[in-house]
Amino acid sequence: MKTPIAVTIAGSDSGGGAGIQADLKTFSALGVYGASVITALTAQNTLGVSGIHDVPPDFVAAQIDAVFSDLDVDAVKIGMLSRPEVIETVALGLDRHRLTTVVLDPVMVAASGDRLLVPEAVESLRRLLLPRALLITPNLPEAAALLDAAPATSVTEARAQAERLLAYGPKAVLVKGGHGEGPESVDVLLDAEGFVELRAPRVATRNTHGTGCTLSSAIAAGLAKGLALRDAVEAAKQYLTRAIGRADDLSIGRGHGPVHHFHAIWD
């Protein structure tokens, strides 16, 4: 029986709560073999980001070719790509290896508020990667930044922004509502069949570092295991909700701690 394999193309979080580290933890927790292409190194902890070291584009390409020439990859998650030249390298790599099951999380700002993407890279994301994605997973501020608009303040506005983002070429859009208000976190999924709203109770915790990375990698894990897109999104939402709900079981750092990726295993 084939082992499901997912690859994360993203930045490293030295604190272990987000980025490559969160992606690989999520893959493992959900029964998927994880491999990685590191696009940037961050000096980071639960309090913030103190430095970013970009990986040269040619070495990003070398990692892509090494991984995809050997592993039979079922799904790809793309996270932090801080510069236009790295975005172009990744886009060319997707084409070179004919990768289409791609979940793109347009990471722009860390939970601490630190910017992870240079402003000139936003247009490269729109032009080169959105059309190559099966699904993009922006949160409310990221969706707004991609559209040069104000963040949505209602589900109706989030649906409208999802429609505008779909016009850039991805097959589906998931606008995440974690930054919204109210007792529920409402994510809006738009695909070829129309809209779906995914609701979950909002959890009162400050330990939400890596939520976006975790959700997108959980979706990629579901796709790698053969789930249909909507099923993969719904399963990932449930996994993340439980991981946030158990985040306070951990005592990690003095700032925004991580979600509990292994909540179902460490018991």
Catalytic sites, residue numbers: 176, 208, 210-213
Tokens of 185: 């976190």
DSSP 63-119: HHHHHHTTS---EEEE----SHHHHHHHHHHHHHTT---EEE----B-TTS-B-S-T
Q: Which residue has the tokens 């606008």?
A: 175
Question: How many CA within 13 A on the CB side of residue 224?
Answer: 31
Question: Please, are residues 151 and 141 in contact by the beta-carbon 8 Å criterion?
Answer: yes
Question: Please, are residues 228 and 202 in contact by the beta-carbon 8 Å criterion?
Answer: no
Strands 194-201, 184-191: pairing is: antiparallel
* 131 alpha carbon, distance to own chain's centre: 16
CB atoms within 10 A of CB 185: 22
Q: How many helices (H) and strands (E) does the chain have?
A: 8, 9
CA distance 182 to 37: 37
CA distance 187 to 161: 12
CA distance 134 to 67: 20
Provide the terminal-to-terminal Cα distance of the chain, rounded to the nearest Å.
28
Q: Which residue has the tokens 């991580």?
A: 258
Report helix, strand or coil for 69. coil
